[in-house]
Structure 1
């Protein structure tokens, strides 16, 4: 699977890379530091199978990115899973209203993070994905 990871925190990127390295299947990880960078990547490369998106980022936050993504006739079908520390119900509702595929709260303990992310990746591996 080709995964676009939109996250500005290097430690979070290291955690995801480490988690992916433990899986049997090898995945391609493309990293963007913010929504603007992610939109540029989406317009210049082959589309990812899934997007993992943080909400709290500089320049363009996750919700702003989502609103642009879901208005694009080609990009709007990309499954987008929010991966955030925000337990704010307003954020949660706004994301689902905009059309996300899931909302995952990042746990503090690495073992819990790894467990959650392996489940998310495993689900999307068996799910039928829209191929660009």
Structure 2
């Protein structure tokens, strides 16, 4: 079982991910952080945050967020000895080339633009589910 951490500040997008998981019968535990700072606290098991179990973790990351955006979060994650190996898939509306280049420079496993329609979004989540099911995540 893979523990999925969704780092997303938009409540509608969080709801869409939950709905897409349900449509695809994805039963992996889903943890939600509203920004990069909250996500780091959850990953590090800080006392005041809901902890994400330390094994078999995958992060779905938005880029545009308050407090600590996705790129800042990736930099911090990759500089943390205990967290740097966690696979990250960017799931965002940002089609900026600089964001894509920076994300890949920080070793993301993928960069996916959020589809406009819900049906396309469900398909994208189904594809991601196949990916993480086949991946050997420690």
- Segments of 5+ residues of structure 1 without an aligned counterpart are none
3-state DSSP of counterpart to 1:26: coil
RMSD: 1.1
Partners of 2:26 and 2:129 within 8 A in 1: no
Segments of 4+ in structure 1 off by > 6 A?
A: none
Question: Deviations along 1:16-69, whole A, 9 cap, x unmatched?
Answer: 101111234411000000000000000113235200000000000000000000
TM-score after normalising by structure 1:
0.94
* Counterpart for residue 7 of structure 1: 8
TM-score after normalising by structure 2:
0.90
Following the alignment from structure 1 to structure 2, what is the Cα–Cα distance between the partners of residues 58 and 25?
28
Partners of 2:23 and 2:122 within 8 A in 1: no
* Counterpart for residue 129 of structure 2: 121
Following the alignment from structure 1 to structure 2, what is the Cα–Cα distance between the partners of residues 20 and 123?
14
1:1-132 superposed matches below 5 A: 1-44=2-45, 45=51, 46-47=53-54, 49-130=57-138
3-state DSSP of counterpart to 1:75: coil
1:3–1:15 Cα change, 3 Å: same
1:24–1:110 Cα change, 3 Å: closer
- Segments of 5+ residues of structure 2 without an aligned counterpart are 46-50
Number of residue pairs matched by the alignment: 130
